[in-house]
């Protein structure tokens, strides 16, 4: 960051500060999530046989919170309206957490790119002699020395 001295560099410096601020905000927002649950909420209907009728009666909906645990699906019935509402909020918070993780990844990658570009720019604008550049033998000092023998 401290190597920037051009007008364009000021824009990059501001972008770096903006990205760092966004990363901090993402981490703060992640830390504020107090409850979350992986999974989905499904409506379930049960077919119950009725006396004297061929067609079973459909009962429900019953709400179930389901998630994958390894190779298995784990489900838990949500028995009250309060439990259903809490599960909806928890699942929404989990989705928000995952979205924040993805955004954190993107912001960090962008920050990395800008910082690396910033470190490389002084070398390109002036003393880039420490970078290895292929040179042809015609221009090297070694070939001139051999020619002068």
pLDDT higher than threshold 50 for residue 87: yes
Angle, vertex CA 91, rays to CA 86 and CA 95, nearest 5:
145
Q: Are strands 57-69 and 72-78 parallel, antiparallel or unpaired?
A: antiparallel
- The predicted-structure confidence for 13-22, as pLDDT tens digits, reads as follows 678 899 999 9
User: What is the spatial distance between Cα 77 and Cα 58, in angstroms, rounded to a whole number?
Assistant: 17
- The predicted-structure confidence for 34-62, as pLDDT tens digits, reads as follows 999 999 999 999 999 999 998 999 999 99
**DSSP labels, the chain:** -TT--SHHHHHHHHHHHHHHHHHHHHHHHHHT------SEEEEEEEEE--TT-SSPEEEEEEEEEEEEETTEEEEEEE-SHHHHHHHHHHHHHHHHHHHHHHHHHHHHHHHHHHHHHHHHHHHHHT-GGGS-----GGGSHHHHHHHH-
Which percentage of the chain shows pLDDT scores above 70? 72
Write down the mean pLDDT value for the chain: 82
The confidence score (pLDDT) of residue 23 equals: 96
- Residues 134-142, mean pLDDT to the nearest whole number: 49
Whether pTM exceeds 0.85: no
- The predicted-structure confidence for 103-131, as pLDDT tens digits, reads as follows 999 999 999 998 888 787 665 555 544 44
pLDDT higher than threshold 60 for residue 149: no
The confidence score (pLDDT) of residue 119 equals: 80
């Amino acid at each position: 960051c401290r190597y920037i001295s051009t007008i364009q560099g000021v824009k990059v410096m501001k972008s770096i500060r903006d990205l760092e601020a966004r990363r901090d905000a993402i981490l703060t927002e992640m830390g504020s999530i107090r409850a979350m649950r992986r999974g989905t909420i499904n409506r379930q209907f049960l077919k119950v046989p009725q006396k004297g009728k061929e067609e079973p009666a459909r009962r429900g909906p019953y709400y179930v919170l389901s998630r994958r645990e390894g190779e298995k699906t784990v489900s838990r019935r949500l028995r009250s309206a309060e439990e259903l509402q809490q599960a909806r909020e928890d699942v929404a918070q989990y989705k928000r957490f995952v979205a924040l993780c993805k955004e954190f990844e993107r912001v960090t990658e962008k920050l990395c790119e800008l910082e690396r570009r910033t470190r490389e720019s002084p070398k390109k604008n002036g003393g880039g002699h420490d970078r290895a550049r292929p040179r042809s033998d015609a221009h090297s000092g070694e070939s001139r020395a051999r020619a002068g023998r």
